[in-house]
């Protein structure tokens, strides 16, 4: 084994030694995203809720970090997850854009004619209505796509199918009876890779950052910030407003920025500190690719 290979394996082991927290069950799209980012079958820690995910990711005894969905190209931002991130001490160290591909999964040997019910998360069912409308099946909403696949496997049913990922089919020994049954093919979810602040190291070739800031709310204050960003030659790829708890209609702003030069971004932050009342950098990382 060469020196570079040993170093990569060492870094991988350190990154995921205790496992990565995800929301959902084995075979869910969070697990697919985690495997996509780390390029290996990494150990995962399944969490029932995003709040539990943040709690486990924040505890060095519980996990090595987390992968958490933050927005979808169709459904939009998951605002509650931004709030969870803001109240935590976690930092963004990477991101994954995952194309959500829904599949009709059955036990081996089951045909379309055998199916009477289809089980899945309400969002997954909604994403597949064009395909499902062709059949007179009972649609049963569940809490998780991967859990639906697991239960189809455990019950050995000939008459129940699940809508879930290809990974769920592989993990639970199910057949993909109909692949890619989602209506909107351009359906992507963006996932953030999170680590505890004390364990974050400089990301090589970083070209994106996530920042939260608030202004004094005088006329033109937000415009001044946006002008500074534009003048710095930095692309503002996302701007999301959030009510400030306990205030009378005051807002903070989440901004995703893309840049070619990290020094240029750092200079911008120093300038923004002078014209904002609060500013927090959530993370500096490499932008993900749409695959």
Cα–Cα distances (Å) from 7 to 2, 4, 10, 12, 86, in that order, read 9, 5, 5, 9, 33
Q: In whole angstroms, what is the distance from residue 283 CA to residue 203 CA?
A: 10
Question: In the predicted model, what is the mean pLDDT of residues 238-260?
Answer: 90
271: domain CATH number is 3.30.70.260
Q: pLDDT (tens digit, 9 = 90+) per residue, 142-167?
A: 999 999 999 999 999 999 999 999 99
Q: Judge if 71 and 169 occupy the same domain.
A: no
88 Cβ neighbours under 8 A, 6+ residues apart: 54, 57, 58
Question: In the predicted model, what is the mean pLDDT of residues 206-226?
Answer: 92
Kindly state whether residue 291 falls inside one of the protein's structural domains: no
Q: Judge if 121 and 245 occupy the same domain.
A: no
Q: What is the DSSP letter of 62?
A: T
Q: pLDDT (tens digit, 9 = 90+) per residue, 267-277?
A: 999 999 999 99
**Position 264 confidence tier, pLDDT thresholds 50, 70, 90:** very high
Among 195, 222, 251, the domain boundary falls at 195
Q: In whole angstroms, what is the distance from residue 25 CA to residue 44 CA?
A: 10
211: helix, strand or coil: strand
Percent of the chain beyond pLDDT 70? 94
Find the helix packing angle between 262-272 and 221-231, rounded to 10°: 160
**Position 5 confidence tier, pLDDT thresholds 50, 70, 90:** very low
Position 1 scores a pLDDT of 45
Q: Judge if 44 and 149 occupy the same domain.
A: no
Kindly state whether residue 3 falls inside one of the protein's structural domains: no
> Which domain covers residue 232, as residue numbers?
208-282
User: Can you point out the beta strands (E) in the chain?
Assistant: 20-23, 44-47, 66-72, 76-77, 90-99, 103-106, 117-120, 138-141, 160-164, 175-178, 188-196, 208-214, 235-243, 251-258, 278-285
Q: Judge if 19 and 94 occupy the same domain.
A: yes
pTM higher than 0.85: yes
Q: Judge if 191 and 57 occupy the same domain.
A: yes
Give the residue with greater pLDDT, 246 vs 200. Answer: 200
User: Can you point out the beta strands (E) in 9-81?
Assistant: 20-23, 44-47, 66-72, 76-77
Q: pLDDT (tens digit, 9 = 90+) per residue, 39-94?
A: 888 999 999 999 999 999 999 999 999 999 999 998 889 999 999 999 999 999 99
Position 266 scores a pLDDT of 96
């Amino acid at each position: 084994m060469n020196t570079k290979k040993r170093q990569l394996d060492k870094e991988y082991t350190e990154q995921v030694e205790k496992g990565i927290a995800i929301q959902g069950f084995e075979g869910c799209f969070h697990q697919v995203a985690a495997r996509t980012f780390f390029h290996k079958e990494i150990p995962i820690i399944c969490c029932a809720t995003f709040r539990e995910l943040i709690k486990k990711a924040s505890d060095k005894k519980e996990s090595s970090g987390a992968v958490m969905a933050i927005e979808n190209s169709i459904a939009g931002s998951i605002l509650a997850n931004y709030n969870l991130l803001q109240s935590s001490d976690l930092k963004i160290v990477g991101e994954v854009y995952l194309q959500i591909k829904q599949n009709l999964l059955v036990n081996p040997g089951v045909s379309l004619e055998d199916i009477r019910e289809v089980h899945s998360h309400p969002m997954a069912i909604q994403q597949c209505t064009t395909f499902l409308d062709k059949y007179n099946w009972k649609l049963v909403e569940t809490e998780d796509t991967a859990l639906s696949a697991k239960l189809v496997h455990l019950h050995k049913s000939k008459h129940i199918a699940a809508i879930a990922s290809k990974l769920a089919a592989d993990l639970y020994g199910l057949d993909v009876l109909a692949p890619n049954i989602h209506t909107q093919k351009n359906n992507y979810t963006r996932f953030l890779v999170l680590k505890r602040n004390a364990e974050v190291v400089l990301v090589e070739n970083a070209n994106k950052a996530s920042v939260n800031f608030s202004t004094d709310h005088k006329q033109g204050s937000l415009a001044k910030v946006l002008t500074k960003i534009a003048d710095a030659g930095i692309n503002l790829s996302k701007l999301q407003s959030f009510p400030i708890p306990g205030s009378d209609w005051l807002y903070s702003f989440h901004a995703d920025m893309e840049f070619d030069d990290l020094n240029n971004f750092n200079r911008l932050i120093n300038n923004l500190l002078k014209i904002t009342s609060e500013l927090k950098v959530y993370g500096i990382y490499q932008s993900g690719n749409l695959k």
